[in-house]
Structure 1
Amino acid sequence: MVETRLPTVHGEFLAVGYLDRRSGIEHVALVHGDVVDESVLTRVHSECLTGDAFASTHCECGDQLSAALRAIVAAGRGILVYLQGHEGRGIGLLAKLRAMKLQEGGLDTVEANIALGLPVDAREYGEAAEILQDLGVRSVRLLSNNPRKREALLRHGVAVAEQVPLLMPPGVENIRYLRAKRERLDHDLPHLDGIPGLS
């Protein structure tokens, strides 16, 4: 583990780096304020190079990352756990790009993974739970629209006091992707109600 001050456009964080010795994958937690308390605002964010670094509009990941950091600073304390090895819901960058190519041909995000013979969602959240526990967190207010993420943290011993929506405005490029997340992956996306073709 290593930690250092990390100033960002959203505010100042303490970056705490972790190495998962089982997989060799590195993760980082961005900590703002005093988090050794009950029900701290927390985002468990899956690595998404295309959205987080390149600002792709194919997904809402980059927007969610920024919104989560802003919300944590506004709350005065909180944690963002950034999980590497989660690219493309755990299938890796090249496979994700292949899946995106299939989506250009009309498949949705779930169908594309299946067509490639890959899992629909291969992500594991045990590392996130271990990081939170190491930071002294036992209960979170989880910034997420994904009930499966909540269930995974509960399985790994992290109490979820509340699931806080992190809803981004849909765009032309990601509306089909968001629809598949709602209809096929059980994401809570009520803001899509009323959009033609999505009700």
Structure 2
Amino acid sequence: MGYNIGVSEEIFSRVEDVLEDLRQGKPVIVVDDEERENEGDFVIAAEKATPEIINLMAREGGGLVCLALNPERFDDLELGLPIQNTSRMGTPFGVPVDASSVTTGTSAHERALTARWAADESKGPDDFLRPGHLYTLRASEGGVLRRAGHTEASVDLARLAGLYPAAVICEIMDQDGTMARLPRLIEVAKRHGLRLITVAEIIRFRLAREIYVERLLARPLRTRWGDFVLYLYRDRIKGDVHLALVSGRITENILVRVQRECPVGDVFGSVVCDCREQMDSALFRIGQEGGVFVYLRQEPGSAETVARILEHIDPAYLERERYEAERYIGTGAQILKDLGVSSMRLLTNNPRKMVGIEGFGLTITERVPIQPRPRKENMEHLLKKRDDMGHIIGPLDQPEEI
């Protein structure tokens, strides 16, 4: 997902192997997506921090050596978020600290000690000096399922490894002082015998193993497409409320559509995108044949969400979609499982969605295409979906007039 440099995905390790290395006290390298920073960080569980590992991070990484903590521990230690966060990625820095027993706090030995103390719940706020030499970071509630950053990834990995949910991380810089990208990260990993893993893989791992949607209600709903049962679901991590419309009984090979909300298209009928047309087409077919329509709401009240929607034809928007879709596919898969769906014919033009849903233990027996109506106004949007995002779309050579 997002690594377009011609490198085989075999360079990335399985989450299970990375977790075992962390349990053994061995650092790993976590790489985020190119739509974010496309950078790599050394990661070690805080309770496993040693002077040798801190020295490796400082010498080979060259970036800031930071202590990432789960939000409960961060707040318990009263590390605070001292200023309004205006950083581009919203990196949640707190007050830098030292263990109270250190001298200068700058040595690798003393920073390793500070990290281990932070993972020791017998230590409280009074056991740390402020300001110190180990920068602190507060992971978001929900980890990578809420914010796909190195901070959340490192804390999630420590927790998944059965260790205290705190980690020491350090950005890896290139020899010219810029941030190292994937080719350089591969070289560093090979030289030190370390495993590489992506934030995206950690997200997939968690989505496939953790249930985070809950059913709120089910009500009959009569629509112009027929009679449905409306189900309401809540995402316990992000707070989003999602909908599912079910026509008829849940059977094998049931017709399914999973679609994300697009207010400007679904509600106001924007002609720049084809979202409303896809929704109408899917609901008509499901109303006729029976099936499930899952409607995934965007984050509520977010100006950024509306801005992204209005940027449908912006290439940067379509690039970000590759990453955002990963989480939404997982949410849709959990809703389908709760409804009792096991195998389906999926209404989609997006092969990536098929692979994503099958990754959550559901079987897709057929891809059912939704042919868009090309118009001059939506042509650029459709071409980018086809050419840049790999959607399988039929002929677009005769655009209609509105």
> Which band: TM-score by shorter chain?
0.7 to 0.9
Counterparts of 2:222 and 2:398, CA distance in 1? 38
Q: Letter of the 1:45 partner, please give it.
A: Q
Residue 29 in structure 1 maps to residue 234 in structure 2: no
Deviation at 1:195, TM superposition (A): 4.4
For 1:64, give the aligned amino acid: Q
For 2:356, the equivalent position in structure 1 comes to: 152
Aligned residue number for residue 224 of structure 2: 9
Q: Which runs of 4+ in 1 moved over 2 A?
A: 94-97, 118-121
1:83 maps to a residue whose letter is L
Calculate the aligned-residue CA RMSD, in Å.
Answer: 1.9
TM-score w.r.t. the length of structure 2 is 0.42
Paired with 2:375 and 2:285, the residues of 1 have a C-alpha distance of: 22
Aligned counterparts of 1:130 and 1:159: Cα–Cα separation in 2: 13
Q: Is the CA contact (8 Å cut-off) linking 2:333 and 2:360 kept in structure 1?
A: yes
Is this contact kept in 2: 1:143–1:163, CA < 8 A?
yes
Match of 2:286 among 38, 57, 72: 72
Per the alignment, residue 171 of structure 2 pairs with none
Give the whole-Å Cα distance in 2 for the aligned partners of 1:142 and 1:86.
24
Matched residue of 1:185: which SS?
Answer: coil
- Contact 1:143-1:165 at 8 Å conserved across structures: yes
1:109 to 314, 321, 328: 314
Find the residue that maps to 1:92 and give its secondary structure.
helix
- Higher RCO by CA contacts (8 Å cutoff, separation 6 or greater): 1
Q: Percent identity over the alignment? A: 37
Residue equivalent to 1:183? 387
Aligned to 2:298: 85
Structure 2 residue 282 is matched with structure 1 residue 57: no
For 1:105, the equivalent position in structure 2 comes to none
TM-superposition CA deviations, 1:120-164 (whole Å, max 9, x none): 431221111111111110011000101111111011111111010
Give distance in 1, aligned partners of 2:343 and 2:224: 27
Structure-1-length-normalised TM-score:
0.83
Q: Which amino acid aligns with 1:176?
A: E
CA contact (8 A) 1:48 1:86 kept: no
Distance across 2 between alignment mates of 1:184 and 1:5: 40
Specify the code of the residue in structure 2 equivalent to 1:43.
R
Residue type matched to 1:149 in 2? Answer: K
User: Per-residue deviation at 1:119?
Assistant: 2.2
- Identify unmatched segments of 5+ residues in structure 2: 1-215
For 2:386 and 2:299, the matched residues in 1 are separated by 19
Gaps of 5+ in 1: 101-107
Whether 1:94 and 2:307 are equivalent positions in the alignment is yes
Q: Which one has the largest radius of gyration?
A: 2
* Number of positions where the alignment pairs a residue of Structure 1 with one of Structure 2: 178
Whether the aligned pair in 2 keeps the contact of 1:47 and 1:86 (CA below 8 Å) is: no
* Contact 2:372-2:393 within 8 A present in 1 as well: no
- Output the CA distance in 1 between the equivalents of 2:226 and 2:374: 26
Match of 1:132 among 336, 345, 357: 336
